[in-house]
Structure 1
C-alpha cells in the first residue's frame, strides 16, 4: 500500500471507532454492588391525565441463576424532585440484586408504549450487608439476609423536619457521630414524612422549607410531593451506603400526629400508596423495617392489618414489617402479615392504665414486655420503652439514667433489641449541649447513658456469642426476679444481669466453666469471678422440669452493691 494513501484510511477507521465508542460503552453492563441499589431512569413523554396512575411501568429481572423477579417501576417527575401528576417525563426502575453475576431485565408499559431491555453486573466490590431479617438458626435475634447475625445498636433520631436542613450538615453532625459510636440502626420520624415539620435541629442551619408532607390529605394519587421523596431517599441512601438500618416510627398513618389520614383513602388509593412506596423504597436494603404507626391493636383490617397485607404483597424483597403494640401481652404477631415485633412496655403490670403508670419506668416491665412479645420465629424490637427515652417519657415517669441502663439490659437478657434516646425535649431538638445528642462530651448529662449502652454493646459483641443464646430466667433461684435475669446457651455460656449487686443462684449444665468474669455495667471494668458456692439442688416433683444429669446449682454474690453487675461464664 502507498504510505500516503494509508493515512486517510486510518483516519477514517479512527473516526468510525470514535463514533461507535458510545454504542460500545452502552452495550457494557452497568456494575452494581451486591445488595446495593440498581437504578435506571426511563423517559416517557406521552401525555397522561395522571402520570402516577394512568400507566404502569412493569419490569422482570432475571438473576444469574435464572430466577425471575417481577418488580414495578415508578413515576418520578423530572427525576430531580420536580414535577407532579401532569408534568415531568421521568420514570425509574429500581431493584435490589441479591446474586453475584450478570442480571438481565425487560420492562414494558401497561398502555402499550414500547418497552426495552438491559443488563447489569452484580459484583462483590462495594457490596452491602443485605436485608435485615430474623436469624434462621435462632430467630430471637436479627441477621443480615437471615444468615449473618448482628447485634442491633439502635438510637431514636427524632428530627421530623431535619430532612429540609442542609444534607451535609445533618450527615456530619447527626448521623456520623452515631456511626462513629458503633450505631448500626436508627428509628426515625422522617420516613414516611407526614407531620411535625417544625421539629428540626435548632442549633443547625434553618430548613429550606417546612412543606414536607408526602401528599395532601385524601389525595395521595394526585398530590405526591416528589421533592419530599427526593429528600427522604437522599438520607436513606446515605445510610444505606454505610449499612445503617432505618426503622420508620410514625409510618404510613398521620391521624395520630395531625397528618394525612389513612382512613381518608379509598381501597384503591391505599393500594397505590403502598405499591408506589414499595417501588421507591424496597430496593434499599437498609429499610428495617416497615411500620404502620405507633400503638395500634394489630388486628384492624381497615388500618394496620390491611396495610401490612399490602406491603407483604408488593415487597418482593421481604423486608421487616410490623405494627407497634403497646399491649404486648395481647399481641397479634402470630399473623403472617407481620414478621417481627415492635413493642412498648406500657401495659405489663396491670391491664388498666392507671395501675400500670407507676411501673412504666421499671426495668422489669421492659424485660417482661420483650419476653411476652416474642412469637416463635419473629424477633422483638422495643421501639418505645418508657425508661429508654429521655425525650417524652423521662419527665412523665421520672425515669433515671440508672433505670435506662437497667431497662436496656432487661431487653437484652430477654433476647430482644431496643432503641434509646438522649434528646431532652419533646418538641425542640438540638445537636450539641445539654439538650442535644449525647455524643458531644460531658455537657449533656446523658453522655453517661451513651457510655452504658457502649458497655452493653461491647459485652454482646465481644464477650459472648449472643446469637446462640436465649433468655432462661428459669435457671435462676434465690433472687428477686424483678432485679436479676439470665441469657444462656446451657453448657456453653451464661450471662446474668444483677441489679445493684443482687445475689442469685444459677443452675449450670454439667461441665467446667474456666472463663468467669464480672463486668461493671456502668464502666465496663471487669473483675475475675469465682466458681460460686455450690448449693443443694431442690427436691423436684413430677411436674417440675428435670435438670440435666450432673447439673449443679451455684450461688454468686456480685463484688458490690453500688453498681449493676453482669456475670459471664463460658465453657472451655
Structure 2
C-alpha cells in the first residue's frame, strides 16, 4: 500500500525513478522530470543543472533542457536530462533548478552489453587519422546524404530506403544537411511518401525563444538516435548559420542568445556519441569572433564530451586549424592551382588539387575532405564535369594524403531520389554504382592490405614521376602504399629490409597481381613499373 501511494506521488510530481535503468556503454541515458512552475519563458526563466558521478568517482557537471510536452509540442511541463556514460557500473546523478525548485538524486547502471564505439577523436598515436575515443583507429567510409527535407517524411521509409542501403554497403559515416535544420526543406526524396510536414525550420530569425520548433528536434533526434544505435557517425555540414541558404541568420542573435542556444543544443545532442563534427556552416574563413570561431569556443565551453569541432575552409592554403578551438580540419580543394578564382576553377575536378588541399589542411589534426569538387556527383559534377575516373582518383588523392573524405553518387542538385539512376549508387540503373565499387575497393585496401593508421604522407620518397599523378603513404621500413595514375612508373625510396608482400592492385576492379618478395640490403631507391598503363594502380610493399 505504501509503495502504491509512493508511486502515485511520483507520478503526480513527475519525479519517476531511474534506478535499475540499464544503459549500454556510450549509449544514450535519458530521464524526464516535470516542472509545473509558471515562467515568462521556459527556455530563459530557469536552468536545470545536473551533476553525474561515475562508478570511479569522477564528477561531470552538465545541464538538462526544456522539451515542451516531451512529444514534439512546444507547450508542456517536461524537462529532460541526457548523458552518455563512459564507465561500467552504477552512476549517480543529482539535478537542481536555478530558481530553488526542489530537485532530486537517482542512479542508473551502465552495462557493457550493447556498448557503442564511443566518440570519434584524433588518433593519439598518429593524428592524421580518426579513432574511437582517440585509441581505436577507424577508416571512415563516408557518404554525403543530402536530404534536408527528409526529416518531414516517414522515418521507417527513410530507414529502409536510405540508411539501410548505406549501412549494408559498409558506410559508417554520413555528412548530412538536416542537423541542424535551418533551410532547404523542399529537398526530400521524391520517390518516397509525401512529407508529413515541411515545417522543418528550427526557429524564426530574431525570435528564437518564442518560436522553437520541437517537432523538428524530435525528428532530428529520431534520425540521430537510430544512426547512433547502428554506429553510424554523423557530421553536421550546414551547421548553425542558415543565412548562406536563406535560413535564420546566426549573426542576428545576441551574444547571450548564441551562448544560450549552444548550451541548449549541447544538452540535447552532445550525449549522442555519433556526433562526429560540430560545424558552423560551409566555406568560412575560420577566424571570425562573432561567427565560426565564437561558435567553436561556445561548443568547446559547454560540450563536456568533447566531440570534434571544425569549420569548413574553402581555401586551405592558409587555414586556422592550428587553433585549439578546432579539433579537426574540414576542407575543400579551392585556391590550390591559383588564388584567382576564374583560373582556379578549371582545376577543381583535378585529383592533385584534392591531394594538396588535404596536405595543406593538416595542422596536427585529422583532415576530412568535406566538399571535394570531383567527389560529388550532386551539385559539383554539373559545374566541374568531373568524370567517374576523376572521382576515383580524387578519392585516392585524399587517402594518400592521410585524409578522410565523403562522396556523393546522387544526381544533380534539383529533385532528390533514393532509388533509380539518380538515387543512391547501389543499383544497376545508376551509373555511379561503378564509383561505389571503386570506393569499396579503396576502403578494403586501406582496412585490410595495410595498417593505414600507422602511415603518413610520404611523397618525398618518390622520384622519376609526376608529382601530380603519383602519391605515397608509408610507415618507412614496414609498409608502403603508392597510387599511380594511369599506370605511371615511379621510383620509391625503400628502407633496408625483407618485404614479403609486394603486389599491384587495380583500383577499378580490385584485381591483384603479386610480385616476388623484395629484399633491400641497404636503403635505396627502387624503380617500379605498374603492370599496365590503361588503369590506375596501387602498389603495396609490406613486411
TM-score by length of 2: 0.97
Counterpart-to-counterpart distance in 1, 2:38 and 2:341:
56
**Deviation readout 1:357-379 (Å, 9 max, x if unpaired):** 11110000000000010001x10
Is the counterpart of residue 59 in structure 1 residue 50 in structure 2? yes
Task: Decide which of 507, 527, 534 is 2:493's aligned counterpart.
Answer: 507
Structure 2 unmatched ranges of 5 or more: 11-15
Deviation at 1:352, TM superposition (A): 1.3
Aligned partner of 2:109 in structure 1 is: 121
* Alpha-carbon distance change, 19 to 217 in structure 1, aligned in 2, over 3 angstroms: closer
Larger Rg: 1
The answer to whether the 8 Å contact 1:533/1:556 transfers is no
Structure 1 unmatched ranges of 5 or more: 1-14, 535-548
Deviation at 1:95, TM superposition (A): 0.5
Task: Decide which of 465, 488, 492 is 2:451's aligned counterpart.
Answer: 465
Where 1:451 maps in the other structure, the secondary structure is helix
Is the counterpart of residue 189 in structure 1 residue 206 in structure 2? no
Where 1:512 maps in the other structure, the secondary structure is strand
Is the counterpart of residue 68 in structure 1 residue 54 in structure 2? no
Where 1:103 maps in the other structure, the secondary structure is strand
Deviation at 1:425, TM superposition (A): 1.5
Counterpart-to-counterpart distance in 2, 1:555 and 1:512:
17
Is the counterpart of residue 568 in structure 1 residue 540 in structure 2? yes
Task: Decide which of 349, 354, 372 is 1:385's aligned counterpart.
Answer: 372
TM-score by length of 1: 0.92
Deviation at 1:219, TM superposition (A): 1.5
* Alpha-carbon distance change, 297 to 26 in structure 1, aligned in 2, over 3 angstroms: closer
Is the counterpart of residue 446 in structure 1 residue 458 in structure 2? no
Is the counterpart of residue 199 in structure 1 residue 187 in structure 2? yes
The answer to whether the 8 Å contact 1:34/1:99 transfers is yes
Structure-to-structure mapping, 1:330-409, within 5 angstroms: 330-376=318-364, 378-409=365-396
Where 1:355 maps in the other structure, the secondary structure is helix
Aligned partner of 2:442 in structure 1 is: 456
Aligned partner of 1:497 in structure 2 is: 483
Is the counterpart of residue 134 in structure 1 residue 125 in structure 2? no
Deviation at 1:427, TM superposition (A): 2.3
The answer to whether the 8 Å contact 2:235/2:275 transfers is yes
Is the counterpart of residue 305 in structure 1 residue 277 in structure 2? no
The answer to whether the 8 Å contact 1:185/1:244 transfers is yes
Q: How many residues align?
A: 537
Deviation at 1:304, TM superposition (A): 0.4
The answer to whether the 8 Å contact 1:324/1:342 transfers is yes
Task: Decide which of 253, 257, 273 is 2:241's aligned counterpart.
Answer: 253
Where 1:71 maps in the other structure, the secondary structure is strand
* Alpha-carbon distance change, 476 to 61 in structure 1, aligned in 2, over 3 angstroms: same
**Deviation readout 1:127-185 (Å, 9 max, x if unpaired):** 10001000000010000000110000000000000011000000010000000000000
Query: RMSD value over aligned CA atoms?
Result: 1.6
Where 1:486 maps in the other structure, the secondary structure is strand
The answer to whether the 8 Å contact 1:532/1:556 transfers is no
Is the counterpart of residue 518 in structure 1 residue 504 in structure 2? yes
Where 2:498 maps in the other structure, the secondary structure is coil
Counterpart-to-counterpart distance in 1, 2:514 and 2:502:
6
Deviation at 1:27, TM superposition (A): 7.6
**Deviation readout 1:206-258 (Å, 9 max, x if unpaired):** 11111100000012222110000000000000000011000011000011000
Structure-to-structure mapping, 1:204-283, within 5 angstroms: 204-283=192-271
Counterpart-to-counterpart distance in 2, 1:288 and 1:228:
20
Counterpart-to-counterpart distance in 2, 1:159 and 1:283:
24
Is the counterpart of residue 429 in structure 1 residue 401 in structure 2? no
The answer to whether the 8 Å contact 2:499/2:519 transfers is no
The answer to whether the 8 Å contact 2:498/2:518 transfers is no
The answer to whether the 8 Å contact 2:498/2:519 transfers is no
* Alpha-carbon distance change, 403 to 116 in structure 1, aligned in 2, over 3 angstroms: same
Is the counterpart of residue 482 in structure 1 residue 454 in structure 2? no
Where 1:330 maps in the other structure, the secondary structure is coil
Aligned partner of 2:13 in structure 1 is: none
Counterpart-to-counterpart distance in 1, 2:326 and 2:174:
20
Counterpart-to-counterpart distance in 2, 1:551 and 1:237:
52
The answer to whether the 8 Å contact 1:533/1:554 transfers is no
Counterpart-to-counterpart distance in 2, 1:21 and 1:27:
13
Aligned partner of 2:73 in structure 1 is: 82
* Alpha-carbon distance change, 423 to 120 in structure 1, aligned in 2, over 3 angstroms: same
